[in-house]
Amino acid sequence: MWPSTGMVQTQQRRPRVVIIGSGFGGLFAAKALKRADVDVVLVAKTNHHLFQPLLYQVATGILSEGSIAPATREILRRQSNAEVQLGEVVDIDVSNRTVTSWTPEGPRQTSFDSLIVAAGSRQSYFGNDRFAEHAPGLKSIDDALELRGRILSAFEFAEAEPHADRVEQWLTFVIVGAGATGVELAGQISELARYTLRRDFRRIDPARARIILVDAAPMILGTFDEQLAAKAMRRLLRLGVEVRLDTAVVDVDGNGLTVRGADGDTRRIQASTVIWAAGVAASALGRHLADQVGVDVDRAGRIPVEADCSLPGNADIFVVGDMMDSGLPGVAQVAMQSGTYAASVIAARAAGRPVPGPFRYRDKGSMATVSRFSAVASVGRVRISGFAAWLMWLFVHLQYLIGFKQRVTTLLHWLISFLGRGRAERVVTRQQVARWALDTEPHT
């Protein structure tokens, strides 16, 4: 019989650090503990780390899923003090210092000396969870493959459709939310329709597809400099994307959505493909922790933390990345830096060294690509757009991608898509076709 994790614990002297999540926060925390005299247990509900900034490229057929999602245990294979467990954490017991995760073999309890909670965020429909069925989000590889199937099938179904109004509905793609993900998706779906698929069909003209980007805010890329956002906006319009600002989503169903514009009037948009890129909420573990220590989460489910990212009153429990209510944006850089920081505090304590000062976020800038050869970027006070920004985007993303294999396959797929306008990953599974066809009311 194999010893359970709890039994091993009592025989060991080294403190155990449990990390929840294999995203940027969790992975960088684990790596930062490489030389610390601790045992690291990383518990994650997927077998892979996910390079989320490029997820939209899996959804639009540019990259294969493996290119942005290396196996977590492969990344940590040479780190002998780290162990990876596949499991979904269902309980954190703050007083007894245990984490319970659900594994295929039933629940599993792991005790910890220190804990780093980096469970990230999920899609939020702002209380309208019924939208989810018709407007999937883009947070996981599952989501990206689902969207790839929907987007590519929509053109197939349009080609098969005898009725002009239904053709138009199949060829209308609505993206809700004009942050970086929404803008990038809109740009890539437009390039797919206007260039990649241009000559592939006989009955429809894919270039006639309507790509509509909807946001309740008065401008796209709200977190960016106004001038940069305006440049990205012009680029989107040149790509034929329709941008509807000051526009709120009232309802979503199987045939499209209803929106309310700045004038207060509601309008109907018939669209078979609606993608939700509008909002995120912290993992439910945030509220679960907050309830135990008697603090409140914010509207997005994020939990207030101390200056050292620790849970109020619990110096050995850290909350990092998207889950912390710290006034910082939910971006990869914040997750990486806070994860690394929490690990450094734990490592210092384990070594009896003085702990570092409070967590300070170093903003390395932000960037978004609108289409091939065109991006916007702000680094410090520098604002760049166009081809130079795109080149910068390319190198920065290659640099942050985890894994040599991932870098070379990504670079090759980019050559294919950016030089040749092609998409190497156009597979729709039969399951996807069958399922979506079932969801679609046949024409009567």
* Residues 388-417, interacting with its own copies (CB under 8 A): 405-406, 408-409, 412-413, 416
* Residues 141-200, interacting with its own copies (CB under 8 A): 141-142, 145, 152-153, 156-157, 159-164, 166-167, 199-200
Q: Is 226 a catalytic residue?
A: no
13, 202, 362, 381: which one binds its own copies (CB under 8 A) = 202
9, 47, 100, 258: which one binds its own copies (CB under 8 A) = 47
What minimum distance in Å lies between the beta carbon of 412 and its own copies? 5
Contact between 225 and 383 under an 8 Å Cβ cutoff? The reply is: yes
Q: Write the burial class of residue 79 (CB in 10 Å: 0-12 exposed, 13-18 middle, 19+ buried).
A: middle
Return the amino acid letter for 307.
Answer: A
Contacts of 125 (CB under 8 A, 6+ apart): 131, 132, 135, 276, 278, 279
56, 112, 224, 436: which one binds its own copies (CB under 8 A) = 436
* Residues 6-35, interacting with its own copies (CB under 8 A): none
Q: Among 168, 184, 191, 425, which one carries the catalytic annotation?
A: 184
Q: Write the burial class of residue 165 (CB in 10 Å: 0-12 exposed, 13-18 middle, 19+ buried).
A: exposed
What minimum distance in Å lies between the beta carbon of 376 and its own copies? 29
* Residues 235-294, interacting with its own copies (CB under 8 A): none
What minimum distance in Å lies between the beta carbon of 426 and its own copies? 4
Look at residues 196, 188, 193, 203 and name the one whose alpha carbon lies nearest to residue 172.
193
Q: At what angle do helices 226-238 and 180-191 cross, to 10 degrees?
A: 20
Q: Which is nearer to its own copies, 237 or 412 (CB)?
A: 412
Q: Which is nearer to its own copies, 129 or 439 (CB)?
A: 439
Q: Which is nearer to its own copies, 254 or 356 (CB)?
A: 254
Rounded distance, CA 175 to CA 127, Å? Answer: 18
Rounded distance, CA 318 to CA 197, Å? Answer: 48
Please compute, for residue 140, the number of CA atoms within 13 A of its CA located in the half-sphere on the CB side.
Answer: 15
9, 15, 34, 65: which one binds its own copies (CB under 8 A) = 65
What are the structure tokens assigned to 104, written together? 């295929």
What minimum distance in Å lies between the beta carbon of 93 and its own copies? 20
Q: How many residues at the interface with its own copies, by CB under 8 A?
A: 75
Contacts of 40 (CB under 8 A, 6+ apart): 16, 17, 19, 30, 33, 79, 81, 82, 83
Told to check if 122 binds its own copies by CB under 8 A, we report no
Q: Which residues does the annotation mark as catalytic?
A: 184
